[in-house]
A and B are shown apart, each in its own frame.
Chain A
Amino acid sequence: AQRVTQPEKLLSVFKGAPVELKCNYSYSGSPELFWYVQYSRQRLQLLLRHISRESIKGFTADLNKGETSFHLKKPFAQEEDSAMYYCALSGTGYSTLTFGKGTMLLVSP
């Protein structure tokens, strides 16, 4: 079974502060990990894929297989980063995405 855990329901920071949204997963094989962002109940937008190792909007995430984690980080938060962030896991083949419960990020001025 695959499971994604996001331990923080809400993370509130000031503008310019570093941000780390935690994500841990459970999967027996080699998973694909993703971060999706959702602004005000709009569509789920893909933010990052672990296999592409890219940085989007200043966010990065590294897959740590030893700790089964895929934490999302940004060195300096901006007000426009305020949104709901979902960590998601996809197994091998064409398996579905399993989402974590999500973390609401609030960035205050």
Chain B
Amino acid sequence: AAGVIQSPRHLIKEKRETATLKCYPIPRHDTVYWYQQGPGQDPQFLISFYEKMQSDKGSIPDRFSAQQFSDYHSELNMSSLELGDSALYFCASRGASGNTIYFGEGSWLTVV
């Protein structure tokens, strides 16, 4: 079965650069979530979208923005990167008929 696809798998950026992470939800899933997991940390909720509209906002820095497109894929844009942004970024999706949230493999961001 198709899963949540995230791209890229690994990304290395320098401080103050910009990065974009992409997420392709499971087909027919209309809700997308972004989580950040720092080294040795539990996943922290950043932001979510339902039907292309922002539905909930967590601890997302002002330097970050995200959107969900008409094909339901989502992109997380991160600007003015800091060393502390180095983390594993998970995207997850949920369908209209279920409560279960399924996670992608994650995108590793390293800021040097």
Interface residues of A (CB under 8 A from B): 32, 34, 36, 41-46, 49, 51, 86, 90, 94-102
Contact = CB atoms under 8 A, between A and B. Distances in A.
Interface residues of B, number: 22
Nearest to B94: A94
B25 interface: no
A94 B31 contact: yes
A99 B103 contact: no
B90 A96 contact: no
A34 to B, nearest CB: 7
B106 A43 contact: yes
Contacts, number: 49
10 contacts: A42-B106, A43-B90, A44-B92, A49-B99, A49-B100, A86-B42, A94-B94, A96-B45, A96-B56, A98-B45
A86 B43 CA distance: 9
Contact of B101 (A41, A51, A97): A97
Interface of B: 31, 33, 42-43, 45, 48, 50, 55-56, 58, 88, 90, 92, 94, 99-106
- List of 9 A-B pairs having minimum Cβ-Cβ separation, nearest first: A44-B103, A43-B105, A99-B42, A101-B42, A96-B45, A32-B99, A43-B103, A102-B42, A99-B43
A89 B30 CA distance: 20
Interface SS of B by simple majority: strand
B66 to A, nearest CB: 14
A4 to B, nearest CB: 9
A39 B4 CA distance: 17
Given A43-B90, A102-B42, A90 B101 contact: yes
A26 to B, nearest CB: 16
